[in-house]
Structure 1
Amino acid sequence: MGKDAYAKAGVDIHAGDEAVQKMKAAVESTYTPQVLSGLGGFGSVFEIPTGYQHPVLVSGTDGVGTKLLLAIGADRHDTIGQDLVAMVMNDIIAEGAKPLFLQDYLAVDKMRPEIVAETIGGIAKATKAVGASLIGGESAELPGLYAEKHYDLAAFGVGIAEKDEILDSEKNAEAGDILLGLPSSGVHSNGYSLVRSVFGIKEPADFNKLPKTVQEQLLTPTTLYYPIISKLLDEHRITGMSNITGGGIVGNLPRAFSKDLQAKTTWGSWPILEIFNTLQQKGQLSTDDMLNTFNNGLGMILIIKPDQLKDVMNYFRETNQPVYEIGKLQSKANEKDAGVIFEGVAPWKK
């Protein structure tokens, strides 16, 4: 094939090198003193921070699902990185851990340095916002595997905690504990296959036919919850947390307490965001569909002991952070009862 045979086969090494140079400053801006070897090496070296008596590492891995198709359709790649970081780190902090570092994986049909740099820059910005370091990853050009201008994102993250400070809420949560809901920014990064079905988004370009307000609502990045609750974790005021992702409240909240308990929540105790009502009405979705697919306005639910409630609510008030008291835990009357029940009038008739 002659000179530059790899490029003729569809892989542009020079474009890959250019992409690395464009993202380098953003990535290195996330480094903490614990990063001993980051971008450029075969492996990344991270020193465990000092001051821990019995440190344990908490890991997680995730992607952003088919929300990527909307970002591709809009040709907007600056916020999807926050979705990626949030999907990984929100799970890690739900165990009571402090974010340490992240590694990302970006696979593209063709290396486009500007878009790669924009995407990785968004990942770096969000990683830095949760106090972690983006210490490495992989950008792969895979011609023939992805459609034109398509790509995929995934990440692996690690957090740290004292062994005896891990949130063992399955053991420690009990009847009478209070449930506090932290608002989501929107759909976050779950349920987009249903979103695309409801709005008829069969091709990425179809996204641009939607009203601008709906486009913005659907592209709003996932909330990063660590900056919101880190002080409460440090002060040991949280008994448990549930990251409301795929499966919604009914699928995720019971993961944060034992099977002999159930969460009793009240409709109307938190605001349902406009985008969820739009989805329900346009798709004629049932209440069960809404509950089993979307977060419906709550991205993280905290379990708080009653004697901590006043101090926790004062903290959120002082930091101007919206929070909603949505219910409490109670004992199940029967072991086969649902893990989450709702009282009051549901916002949807179906």
Structure 2
Amino acid sequence: MCVEREAGVSISYRDAGVDIEAGDAVVAGLRGIGDGRPHPNVIGGLGHFGGFYRLGAQYPGATLVSSIDGVGTKLLVASIAGQLDGIGADLVNHCVNDIAACGAEPLFFLDYYGTGKLDPDDALTVIGGIARACAGLGVALVGGETAEMPGLYRDGDFDLVGAIVGLVDEAKIVDGSAVAIGDVLLGFPSDGLHTNGYSLVRAALGIAHDEISRERLAGPAPFDMTSTLAEALLRPHRSYLAETRALVQSGLARGMAHITGGGLPGNVARVMPDGLAAEIDATAWTPPPLFDYIAEMGHIAVDECFRAFNMGIGYVVAVRPEDVAEAVRLVPDVVEIGRVRHGVPGCQVLHSGLQRSPGE
């Protein structure tokens, strides 16, 4: 339907819903984030048509590794709770963890922030968190896109995407092809939900854009009286870069899996060669009470929990049995959670000893 405007009445971009001045305010604010020292490999700064990263001379076999991802509907929970501070770290750590699973060192990062109505304060909180997370990991933030698109997003909603590029020696790529029968699977503890399963979390807990949900999120977590429910649900995605770097540089990592969407069975299976299968004993660790609470509230079956959530294990590394002691020395908080067996490629999570939820 076309609506005619009164003759002679002009409209502006702001009238159409796009505030250029608000966008300029975000860019200006970003220049003031950090300690003012640019990354040594970045040429120029933010604001040009492209971001420049100086690679310099490289060794034979130097290979670029890239990945792109988001943080899912964790954005909605953070928005409802009014806690956007950790979202930037969520995005950066998620993306860096993905390429670290290939044995890569991260080089530079780009982000996309899209919204229906740009709130400069919210945008600076989120993108500022991205900048600080990048700086903390030694990654260059070379650019990004902040887009205001009225009609595509509802007011107050926004989407967030990050892209990471890293470097790995082709001869030292970790892709699971070296995994062998008898290898031990070591699990790295997670710091909570990380960035996956939030649609199921919102359904299980009845979280919506309403005052009742905001009050519940601001109240104490039923399973941890030292934390609000929002804090428990929104704990930032843990970075595993230091741990994976130690294992890769020592030559111990034969296959690595970042436990994101699909949980343990869906992600560990991605690094199993033909003819081999991962077998994980879920009684080897105790899932944090957050996961029990969500399962009980939503009457979620155990199998479904392991497919949707990380269940307390955020990363898995396959090592030779004789290397377990050294791996534990390098990464003291790892837990032995399984073995590699002969079988159809995949991952089986054995959880018969776990308490089943009331809905089963």
Structure with greater helix percent: 1
Counterpart CA distance in 2 for 1:153 and 1:226 is 22
**Residue of structure 1 in register with 2:202 after alignment:** 196
Matched, 1:217 2:217: no
**Residue of structure 2 in register with 1:347 after alignment:** 355
Q: 2:244 aligns with which of 202, 217, 229?
A: 229
Q: Secondary structure at the match of 1:339?
A: strand
**Residue of structure 2 in register with 1:331 after alignment:** 342
**Residue of structure 1 in register with 2:134 after alignment:** 127
**Residue of structure 1 in register with 2:14 after alignment:** 7
Deviation >3 Å, runs of 4+: 1-4, 27-31, 204-207
Change (3 A) 1:131 1:13: same
Task: Return the offset for 1:130.
Answer: 2.3
Q: 2:263 aligns with which of 248, 260, 264?
A: 248
Task: Return the offset for 1:28.
Answer: 7.9
1:4-83 to 2 correspondences below 5 Å: 5-26=12-33, 31-83=38-90
Provide, for residues 3-37 of structure 1, a one-character-per-residue CA deviation record: whole Å limited to 9, x for no partner.
Answer: 87112221111111111111123378584222113
Q: Secondary structure at the match of 1:8?
A: coil
Task: Return the offset for 1:245.
Answer: 0.6
Matched, 1:293 2:308: yes
1:102-121 to 2 correspondences below 5 Å: 102-121=109-128
Counterpart CA distance in 2 for 1:324 and 1:161 is 27
Counterpart CA distance in 1 for 2:210 and 2:29 is 26
Change (3 A) 1:104 1:271: same
Matched-pair identity in % = 36
**Residue of structure 2 in register with 1:282 after alignment:** 297
Unaligned runs of 5+ in 2: 1-7, 222-228
Task: Return the offset for 1:348.
Answer: 2.2
Change (3 A) 1:15 1:197: same
Counterpart CA distance in 2 for 1:327 and 1:112 is 47
Provide, for residues 274-322 of structure 1, a one-character-per-residue CA deviation record: whole Å limited to 9, x for no partner.
Answer: 11000111111111111111100000001112222111111223xxxx2
Task: Return the offset for 1:263.
Answer: 1.5
1:166-181 to 2 correspondences below 5 Å: 166-169=173-176, 171-181=177-187
Q: Is the 8 A contact 1:264 1:343 kept in 2?
A: no
Counterpart CA distance in 1 for 2:20 and 2:349 is 55
* Root mean square deviation of aligned Cα: 2.0
Task: Return the offset for 1:191.
Answer: 0.9
The alignment's TM-score, normalised by the length of structure 1, stands at 0.92
Counterpart CA distance in 2 for 1:283 and 1:55 is 48
**Residue of structure 1 in register with 2:321 after alignment:** 306
Q: Is the 8 A contact 1:261 1:339 kept in 2?
A: no
Change (3 A) 1:125 1:4: farther
Residue type at the aligned position of 1:135: V
**Residue of structure 2 in register with 1:315 after alignment:** 330
Q: Secondary structure at the match of 1:104?
A: strand
Counterpart CA distance in 2 for 1:25 and 1:50 is 32
Matched, 1:187 2:193: yes
Provide, for residues 110-166 of structure 1, a one-character-per-residue CA deviation record: whole Å limited to 9, x for no partner.
Answer: 222221111111111112222211110000111222222111101111110111011
**Residue of structure 1 in register with 2:155 after alignment:** 148
Whose Rg is larger?
A: 2
Counterpart CA distance in 2 for 1:175 and 1:190 is 30
